[in-house]
C-alpha cells in the first residue's frame, strides 16, 4: 500500500481509429493523497477526461492503455479484470459526468437509479436502501426527497439532475470522486450552487476529488493542486498558488491571461490564445504548443521540452526555462 | 519526473533558442483540406464497395431490361407454335428441324411458358415494367410528398394542422384494402377514358400501369410528406437560417442555399429507398393479379403464373423471384450507401 | 390522458367514416354487379334480387341506408353466401388470419430483438456481419417469393410439410415463416441500430461507472431504451402482416379474411367488401392506440397527446 490514493505513472493511452492511432495520453503521471483535491485543466481533447476514465477502467472503445501503471487505493488497475473493476466502481471511486441531461437513464425513476447502486455494493435491506436514498437526496440539497425518488429524470431541472448524479456518486461514500466538468452544461447560477455543494460535501465527507474542468475559476476555489494538460501531456503541475502566481509554461500563462479578473486595470484587455489545438493524428515532433506559442523558439519545433522543476510540488515542460539554465551555463 | 534525461542526449546550441519565425510555426500546423458536400459524399460513396457493386448490378439490370430486348430475336407476346413449356436451352420439334437443316435458331435460354412464349424475354420485359413502376411511382411520390410536406411546414399553424391530420388519416387506412379496391375500380373508368381522343396513350402505357401509378399517387406519398415536413421544420427553426434571415437573405435564397442543400441528402436517400418499396408493392399487386394486364408481364405476375405449374416447371418461378429480390436488394444497399455517404446524421 | 382518449376516438370515427365512404363508392365503380355471373338467373329474378337487397335504388340512397344500418351495428347479409350475415362471416374468417398473423408477429419479435442485440454487441465481428447479411437480404425478398420458394422446396420437392389448409400444426409452419420473414429481418436491423445508439449513450457510461456488470447494464438499462423503435414499428408491422396475409392466404389456400376479401371483390359481394374494410380499418386503429399505450408504458417521457 503506497502512501498515495492514486498513483499514475507514465500512462500512455491511444485510440486506434480507422484513420490511425491517436495518442491521447503521453507519459501522464499523477499522484493524489487521500482527501486531496486535484484540478486537471485543459482544452477539449487535451486528455483530461481520458485520464480520469482510464483510472476507472472506463476507457471507451477503441481506446487502449499501451503503457504505464495505474494504482488506486492499493489496486493495480492495469491488471484488474472487468469483473474486479465492477466491485470498486461506484464503491471506492465514483464519477460525476458533464451532462446531467443525458447521464441519467430516461426510462427509470430517480429512486430506481439511486437504489440500484446502493443495492449493488451493500447488503442493506429494502427499507435501509430506501432510507439511504432519501438521506442522500437530502444531503445533496433536494427538497421533498420521497416525492423526487418517484419522479423520472425528465421531470427534473438540469441542476436537480446533477444533484441526483452527485447523490448516486456519493451513495457508497467513495474514497475518490471524479468530477468531469460537472458544471459545464449548467446555467451560471446553478453552477455556483453545485460547486458550493461539492465543497461542502468534501468538507463533510473528506473524500479525495479529481476536478476536471477548463474553467480556471473553479479550480482556484476548490483545488489544492492543479495539473495543466495540453495534447495528452501534463505540461505544468503545481500547487494552486504556484500555478496562479508563478506560472511556468507559456500555455498556463496564456490561460491565466484569458480569464477576466476583478482587479484588472481599466481598459486592460483579455488576451485569447490564438490558433487551435494540434491534430492529434499527426502530432508534431517538438512541443505540442509550439505552433501557438508567442515565445516559440527553433528548438521548440524540433524537440520535446524536458521537465524543469521549480520546487518539490511545481514542475513544467518548457524550453524557456531550459534557455535560462543554458544561458546561465547550468546545463548538465 | 525528477531527472532531465533529454538534456543529456541533446547538444544544445545557442541558436536553438532563437525565436522561431511565423512561417516555421505554420509549417507545423497542417491544415486538412476542406471538401465540399458533393465531393465529400461522392468520395465516401466510391469507397463503399457494397454500394458500388449494387450500382453496377442496377446498371446491368437496366441494360438487361431496356436495351437487350431490342436486339433479342424473340418478342414477349409472340407465341411460338409447338414450343410450349420448353425447358431451358431446349428446342421445339419445328426448331429442331430448322437446326438440323442448318439454320441458326436462337436458344430459349430460360425455356418457354405454357403459351409458348420465350421466357427470357418475358423476364426482361417483366423487370422493365417493375423498374418503370419503381422509378415513376417514386417520382410521383417524391413530387407530391415534398410539395405537400414543405407547404405544410412552411405555412404552419392551421394549414399545417389540417394537412397533417389528413396525412394521419391516410396513414391509418389499411392501404392494402384500398389498393385492391382502387385497382379493381379504376379499370373501367380508365378503359372508357382511353377511348376518348387525346387519352389514347393510356392504351399504350396500359391502364393497369396507370392505375398502379394512381394508387401510389393517392396513398404512398404520406411517408415522404412527413419526412419532408419534419426536415423543413427542423431547418426553419435552425439557427443558421435565423442568422441568414437576420443578415437579410431573401426567402428564395434561404430556400435555395440552406433548405435545399441541407434537405437534399435526406431526400436522395429516402427517394432511393422508396424505389425498392414501390417495386415491392407493384410485384405484390401483380402477384395478386391486380397489376399489369396480359400479355404484358411484370416480375410479380410471372411469379404468380409460375405457381400453378410449380410441380412440373419450377424454373419458371426461379428467374423472376431471383431477379425481383436482386433488384430490391441492390436498391436497398445503394440507398444505405448513399445514406452513409450523404447523410451521416441518419446513419444507424 | 382524457384529452388523448377523446382525440383518438374522434380521429378513429373520422377515419372509419372516410374509409367506409371511399370503399362504398370505389366498390360501386367496379364494373359488373353481384348477380351478373350467375347464368341460370332470369332478368326478372335478377331484378327481384336487386330489389331485395336495395341495389336498384340510386347510389346515394344506398349509401345512406348502409351507413345508417352500419351505425346500428347491422352490416347486412352476404349476397353470395345466402343466409349468412357479414358479421358472422367476418367473425368466422378473422380468427384464422389472426392466428397466422399473430404467430408471425410473435416469431418476428422473439427472433428479431435478440438477434439484433447480438449483432450490436458483436459490432464488426463475424456474427454481426452474418446477421446483417441475413437481415439485408430478408427485407429485399418479397413475401410471395419466400412463400413460393418454401412451398416448392419444403412442400413439393421434399414433401416435408403440407402445402395447403390449416389442418395440423405442421400446416402453420410455412405460412407463419413466410409471413414472419420480412418483419423479423426489419426488427433485427432496427434493433441493431438502436442498440448501437443506446450503447453510446451517456447513461450507459453512468451504469458502468456505478459498477454494474455489462450483463446487467445491458438488460436493465440498454434493452428498455433500445426496444422503443421496435415498439413504434409494431403498428406498421400489423399492417404488413395483414398485407402479407393476402398473398400467404392465396398461396397456401388458407380460408382467412384476406382470401375472403379478394374473393368478395371478384364476386361483387358488396356487403362483405364494406364489412371487411370497416373491420380492418377499426382493427388497425385499435392496434395503433395499443402501440401508443405500450410506448407510453416503456418510455415515461412520452405524453399521450
CB C248 within 8 A of CB C175: yes
CA distances from B77 to B86, B119, B290, B321 (A): 16, 10, 19, 21
Q: Is A29 helix (H, G, I), strand (E, B) or coil?
A: strand
In tens digits, chain A (332 residues) has pLDDT values of: 567 898 998 888 988 877 778 888 888 888 888 889 999 998 888 888 889 888 888 888 788 888 888 988 888 888 888 888 888 998 899 999 888 888 999 999 999 999 999 999 988 899 999 999 999 999 888 889 999 999 999 899 888 898 899 999 988 889 999 998 888 878 888 888 888 888 888 888 888 999 998 888 888 888 899 999 988 889 899 999 888 888 888 888 888 887 777 676 666 677 777 777 777 777 777 888 888 888 888 888 888 888 888 888 888 888 888 777 776 654 44
Is the pLDDT at B199 greater than 50, yes or no?
Answer: yes
Contact assignment for C212 to A86 by CB distance below 8 Å: yes
Cα distance from C146 to chain B (closest Cα, Å)? 9
Tell whether C6 is covered by a domain. Answer: no
**Taking 90 as the threshold, does the pLDDT of residue C112 lie above it?**
yes
Q: CB–CB of A293/A251 below 8 Å?
A: yes
CB contact under 8 A, C261 and B280: no
Looking at the 3D structure of chain C, how many domains does it have?
1
Locate the chain A residue with the closest alpha carbon to B15: A298
Kindly tell me if the per-residue pLDDT of C156 is higher than 50: yes
Say which DSSP state A317 is in. Answer: E
Give me the CATH number covering residue C132: 1.10.3720.10
What is residue B348's predicted lDDT score, i.e. its pLDDT?
39
Question: Where a domain ends, among A130, A156, A173?
Answer: A173
A155 with A271, same domain: the answer is: no
The band of C94, judged by pLDDT with boundaries at 50, 70 and 90, is confident
My answer on whether A286 and A195 are in the same domain is: yes
Q: Which chain B residues are within 8 Å of A291, Cβ to Cβ?
A: 25-26, 28-29
- Write out the DSSP string of A51-84: HHHHHTT-PPTTEEEEEEEEEETTEEGGG--HHH
Q: Do A91 and C211 touch (CB under 8 A)?
A: yes
Largest CA distance in chain B: 102
Measured between its terminal Cα atoms, the distance across chain C in Å is: 7
Q: What is the DSSP string of B154-213?
A: HH-HHHHHHHHHHHHHHHHS-HHHHHHHHHHHHHHHHHHHHHSTT-THHHHH-HHHHHHH
Confidence of residue B49 (pLDDT cuts 50, 70, 90): confident
> Is C148's Cβ below 8 Å from some Cβ in B?
yes
pLDDT tens-digit profile of C234-273? Answer: 877 876 676 667 788 888 888 888 888 878 877 778 888 8
Residue C133, pLDDT above cutoff 60: yes
CB C20 within 8 A of CB C282: no
Q: Answer yes or no: do A114 and A237 share one domain.
A: no
Q: What is the DSSP letter of B16?
A: G
Domain end marker among A173, A198, A216: A173
pLDDT score of B7:
46
Residue span of the structural domain in which C103 resides: 92-268
Query: Does residue A298 sit in the same domain as residue A321?
Result: yes
Q: Could you tell me which CATH number the domain at B40-78+117-342 has? A: 1.10.3720.10
Express as a percent the part of chain C with pLDDT over 70: 94
Q: Do residues A254 and A142 share a domain?
A: no
Confidence of residue B344 (pLDDT cuts 50, 70, 90): low
Which chain A residues touch B26 with a CB distance below 8 Å?
Answer: 291
Q: Closest approach of chain A CAs to the CA of C115, in angstroms?
A: 22
Residue B220 in contact with residue B252, Cβ under 8 Å? no
Mutation target among B49, B176, B219, B289 for the C interface, most CBs of C within 10 A: B176
pLDDT in the model for residue B95:
74
| Residue-level pLDDT at A39 | 92
Distance, in Å, from the CA atom of B213 to the CA atom of B207, rounded to the nearest integer, reads: 10
Domains in chain A: how many in total? 2
Highest mean pLDDT among A67-76, B166-175, C284-293: A67-76
Q: Are residues A136 and A189 in the same domain?
A: no
Q: Are A241 and A159 in the same domain?
A: no
d(CA B298, CA A199): 75
E-strand stretches of chain A: 6-17, 20-32, 37-41, 63-72, 75-76, 93-96, 176-180, 208-213, 225-230, 233-239, 307-309, 315-317
Q: Beta strands A176-180 and A208-213: pairing type? A: parallel
Question: Do A212 and A86 have their domain in common?
Answer: yes
Tell me what the mean pLDDT of segment B138-155 comes to.
87
This complex has an ipTM of 0.82
Give C267→chain B minimum CA distance, Å: 12
Which among A138, A173, A208 is the end of a domain? A173
The mean pLDDT of B247-275, rounded to a whole number, is 77
Judging contacts by C-beta atoms under 8 Å, the chain A residues touching residue C296 are none
Among B4, B15, B18, select the one facing A332 at the smallest CB separation: B4
Q: Are residues A302 and A324 in the same domain?
A: yes
Contact status of B140 with chain C (Cβ, < 8 Å): no
Between C192 and A326, the more confident residue is C192
The CB density around residue B263, as the number of other CB atoms within 10 Å, is 20
pLDDT band at residue C37 using 50, 70 and 90 as cut-offs: low
**CATH number of domain containing A23:** 3.40.50.300
| pLDDT for residue B2 | 43
pLDDT given at position B154: 78
Q: Could you give the angle at the alpha carbon of B56 between the alpha carbons of B52 and B59, nearest 5°?
A: 135
How far, CA to CA in Å, does A223 sit from each of A241, A314, B9, C99?
A: 10, 15, 37, 67
SS3 of chain B: helix, strand, coil, percent, to 5:
75, 0, 25
Q: What is the pLDDT of residue A293?
A: 82
Highest mean pLDDT among A237-251, B30-44, B291-305, C6-20: A237-251
Closest alpha carbon within chain A to B22: A291
Closest CA to C230 of C299, C146, C134, C304: C299
CA distance A291 to chain B (A): 5
Residue bearing cell 464519477: A95
Q: How far apart are CA A264 and CA A247, in angstroms?
A: 18
In a mutational test of the B interface, the residue from C132, C144, C281 whose CB has the highest number of chain B CBs within 10 Å is: C144
Mean pLDDT of B115-130: 84
Q: What is the pLDDT of residue A289?
A: 84
Q: What are the φ/ψ torsions at residue B120 (nearest 5 degrees)?
A: -60, -45
- The ranges assigned to domains in chain B are 40-78+117-342
Q: Which domain holds residue A59?
A: 6-92+174-328
**Residue A1 domain-assigned?**
no
**Considering only A59-63, A132-136, C45-49, C172-176, which range has the smallest mean pLDDT?**
C45-49
Same domain for A67 and A202? Answer: yes
Of the candidate ranges A243-252, C115-124, C195-204, C281-290, the one whose mean pLDDT is the lowest:
C281-290
On the question of pLDDT at B174 being above 70, the answer is: no
The answer to whether residue C118 scores a pLDDT higher than 70 is: yes
Phi-psi region of B3 (alpha: psi -120 to 50; beta: other; left: phi over 0): beta
> Does a structural domain hold residue C254?
yes
pTM assigned to the model: 0.81
Asked if B15 and A291 come within 8 Å (Cβ–Cβ), the reply is: no
Pick from B168, B314, B348: which is nearest to C152 by CB?
Answer: B314
Q: Are residues A204 and A291 in the same domain?
A: yes
Judge whether C228 lies within some domain: yes
Q: Do the domain assignments include residue C76? A: no
Tens digit of each residue's pLDDT (9 = 90 or more) over B275-303: 888 888 888 777 777 767 667 788 888 88
**Mean pLDDT lowest among A202-216, B198-212, B225-239, B243-257:** B198-212
Identify the pLDDT of residue B156.
Answer: 79
* A33 lies in the same domain as A142: no
pLDDT in the model for residue A115: 93
Question: In B, residues 9-68, which contact A (CB 8 Å cutoff)?
Answer: 10, 12, 14-20, 24-26, 28-30, 32
Amino acid at each position: 500500500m503506497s502512501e498515495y490514493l492514486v498513483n499514475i505513472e507514465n500512462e500512455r493511452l491511444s485510440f486506434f481509429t480507422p484513420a490511425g492511432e491517436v495518442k491521447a495520453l503521453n507519459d501522464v503521471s499523477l499522484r493524489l493523497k487521500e482527501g486531496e483535491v486535484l484540478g486537471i485543466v485543459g482544452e477539449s481533447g487535451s486528455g483530461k477526461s481520458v485520464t480520469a476514465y482510464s483510472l476507472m477502467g472506463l476507457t471507451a472503445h477503441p481506446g487502449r492503455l499501451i503503457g504505464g501503471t495505474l494504482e488506486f487505493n492499493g489496486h493495480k488497475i492495469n491488471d484488474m479484470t472487468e469483473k474486479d473493476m465492477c466491485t470498486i466502481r461506484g464503491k471506492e471511486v465514483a464519477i460525476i459526468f458533464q451532462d446531467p441531461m443525458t447521464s441519467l437513464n430516461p426510462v427509470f425513476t430517480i429512486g430506481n437509479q439511486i437504489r440500484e447502486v446502493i443495492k449493488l455494493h451493500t447488503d442493506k435491506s429494502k427499507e435501509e436502501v430506501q432510507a439511504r436514498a432519501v438521506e442522500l437526496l437530502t444531503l445533496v440539497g433536494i427538497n421533498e426527497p420521497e416525492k423526487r425518488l418517484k419522479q423520472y429524470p425528465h421531470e427534473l431541472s438540469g441542476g436537480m439532475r446533477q444533484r441526483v448524479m452527485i447523490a448516486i456518486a456519493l451513495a457508497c461514500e467513495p474514497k475518490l470522486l471524479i468530477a468531469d466538468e460537472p458544471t459545464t452544461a449548467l446555467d451560471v447560477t446553478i453552477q455556483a450552487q453545485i460547486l458550493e455543494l461539492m465543497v461542502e460535501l468534501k468538507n463533510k465527507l473528506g473524500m479525495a476529488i479529481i476536478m476536471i474542468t477548463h474553467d480556471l475559476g473553479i479550480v482556484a476555489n476548490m483545488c489544492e493542486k492543479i495539473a495543466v494538460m495540453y495534447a495528452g501531456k501534463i505540461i505544468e503541475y503545481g500547487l494552486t498558488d504556484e500555478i496562479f502566481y508563478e506560472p511556468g509554461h507559456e500555455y498556463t500563462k496564456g490561460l491565466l491571461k484569458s480569464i477576466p479578473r476583478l482587479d484588472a486595470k481599466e481598459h486592460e484587455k483579455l488576451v485569447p490564445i490564438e490558433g487551435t489545438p494540434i491534430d492529434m493524428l499527426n502530432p508534431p515532433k517538438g512541443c505540442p504548443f509550439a505552433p501557438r506559442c508567442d515565445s516559440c523558439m527553433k528548438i521548440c519545433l524540433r524537440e520535446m521540452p524536458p521537465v524543469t522543476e521549480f520546487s518539490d510540488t511545481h514542475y513544467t515542460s518548457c524550453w524557456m526555462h531550459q534557455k535560462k539554465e543554458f544561458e546561465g551555463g547550468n546545463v548538465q | 519526473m525528477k531527472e532531465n534525461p533529454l538534456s543529456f542526449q541533446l547538444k544544445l546550441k545557442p541558436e536553438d533558442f532563437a525565436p522561431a519565425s511565423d512561417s516555421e510555426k505554420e509549417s507545423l500546423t497542417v491544415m486538412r483540406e476542406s471538401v465540399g458536400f458533393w465531393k465529400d459524399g461522392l468520395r465516401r460513396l466510391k469507397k463503399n464497395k457494397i454500394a458500388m457493386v449494387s450500382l453496377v448490378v442496377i446498371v446491368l439490370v437496366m441494360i438487361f431490361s431496356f436495351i437487350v430486348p431490342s436486339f433479342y430475336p424473340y418478342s414477349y407476346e409472340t407465341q411460338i407454335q409447338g414450343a410450349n413449356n420448353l425447358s431451358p436451352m431446349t428446342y421445339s420439334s419445328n426448331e429442331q428441324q430448322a437446326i438440323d437443316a442448318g439454320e441458326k435458331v436462337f436458344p430459349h435460354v430460360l425455356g418457354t411458358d405454357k403459351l409458348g412464349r420465350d421466357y427470357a424475354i418475358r423476364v426482361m420485359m417483366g423487370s422493365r415494367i417493375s423498374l418503370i413502376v419503381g422509378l415513376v411511382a417514386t417520382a410521383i411520390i417524391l413530387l407530391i410528398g415534398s410539395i405537400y410536406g414543405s407547404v405544410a411546414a412552411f405555412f404552419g399553424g392551421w394549414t399545417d394542422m389540417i394537412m397533417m391530420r389528413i396525412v394521419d388519416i391516410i396513414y391509418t387506412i389499411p392501404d392494402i384494402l384500398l389498393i385492391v379496391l382502387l385497382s379493381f375500380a379504376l379499370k373501367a373508368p380508365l378503359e372508357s377514358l382511353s377511348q376518348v381522343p387525346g387519352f389514347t396513350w393510356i392504351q399504350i402505357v396500359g391502364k393497369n400501369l396507370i392505375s398502379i401509378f394512381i394508387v401510389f399517387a393517392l396513398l404512398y406519398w404520406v411517408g415522404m410528406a412527413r419526412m419532408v415536413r419534419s426536415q423543413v421544420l427542423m431547418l426553419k427553426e435552425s439557427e443558421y437560417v435565423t442568422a441568414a434571415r437576420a443578415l437579410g437573405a431573401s426567402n428564395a435564397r434561404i430556400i435555395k442555399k440552406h433548405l435545399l442543400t441541407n434537405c437534399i441528402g435526406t431526400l436522395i436517400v429516402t427517394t432511393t429507398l422508396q424505389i425498392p418499396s414501390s417495386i415491392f408493392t407493384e410485384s405484390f399487386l401483380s402477384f395478386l393479379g391486380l397489376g399489369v394486364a396480359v400479355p404484358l408481364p411484370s416480375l410479380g405476375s410471372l411469379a404468380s403464373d409460375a405457381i400453378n405449374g410449380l410441380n412440373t416447371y419450377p424454373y419458371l418461378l426461379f428467374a423472376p423471384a431471383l431477379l425481383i429480390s436482386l433488384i430490391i436488394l441492390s436498391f436497398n444497399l445503394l440507398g444505405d450507401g448513399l445514406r452513409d455517404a450523404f447523410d451521416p446524421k441518419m446513419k444507424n | 390522458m382524457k384529452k388523448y382518449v377523446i382525440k383518438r376516438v374522434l380521429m378513429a370515427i373520422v377515419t372509419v367514416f372516410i374509409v367506409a365512404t371511399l370503399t362504398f363508392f370505389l366498390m360501386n365503380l367496379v364494373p359488373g354487379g353481384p348477380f351478373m355471373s350467375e347464368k341460370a338467373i332470369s332478368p326478372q329474378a335478377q331484378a327481384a334480387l336487386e330489389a331485395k337487397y336495395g341495389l336498384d335504388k340510386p347510389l346515394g340512397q344506398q349509401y345512406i341506408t348502409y351507413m345508417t344500418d352500419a351505425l346500428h351495428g347491422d352490416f347486412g347479409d352476404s349476397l353470395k353466401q345466402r343466409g349468412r350475415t357479414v358479421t358472422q362471416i367476418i367473425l368466422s374468417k378473422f380468427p384464422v388470419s389472426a392466428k397466422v398473423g399473430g404467430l408471425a408477429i410473435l416469431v418476428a419479435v422473439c427472433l428479431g430483438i435478440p438477434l439484433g442485440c447480438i449483432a450490436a454487441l458483436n459490432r464488426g465481428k463475424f456474427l454481426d456481419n452474418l446477421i446483417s447479411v441475413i437481415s439485408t437480404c430478408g427485407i429485399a425478398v418479397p413475401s410471395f417469393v419466400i412463400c413460393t420458394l418454401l412451398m416448392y422446396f419444403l412442400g413439393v420437392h421434399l414433401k416435408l410439410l403440407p402445402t395447403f389448409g390449416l389442418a395440423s400444426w405442421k400446416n402453420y409452419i410455412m405460412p407463419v415463416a413466410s409471413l414472419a420473414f420480412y418483419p423479423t429481418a426489419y426488427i433485427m436491423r432496427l434493433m441493431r441500430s438502436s442498440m448501437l445508439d443506446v450503447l453510446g449513450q451517456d447513461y450507459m457510461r453512468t451504469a458502468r461507472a456505478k459498477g454494474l456488470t455489462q450483463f446487467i447494464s445491458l438488460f436493465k438499462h440498454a434493452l428498455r431504451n433500445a426496444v422503443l423503435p421496435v415498439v413504434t414499428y409494431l403498428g406498421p408491422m400489423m399492417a404488413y402482416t395483414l398485407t402479407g396475409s393476402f398473398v400467404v392466404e392465396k398461396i397456401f389456400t388458407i380460408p382467412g379474411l384476406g382470401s375472403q376479401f379478394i374473393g368478395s371483390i371478384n364476386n361483387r359481394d358488396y356487403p362483405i367488401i364494406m364489412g371487411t374494410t370497416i373491420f380492418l380499418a377499426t382493427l388497425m386503429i385499435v392496434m395503433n392506440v395499443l402501440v401508443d399505450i405500450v410506448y407510453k408504458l416503456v418510455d415515461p417521457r412520452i405524453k399521450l397527446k
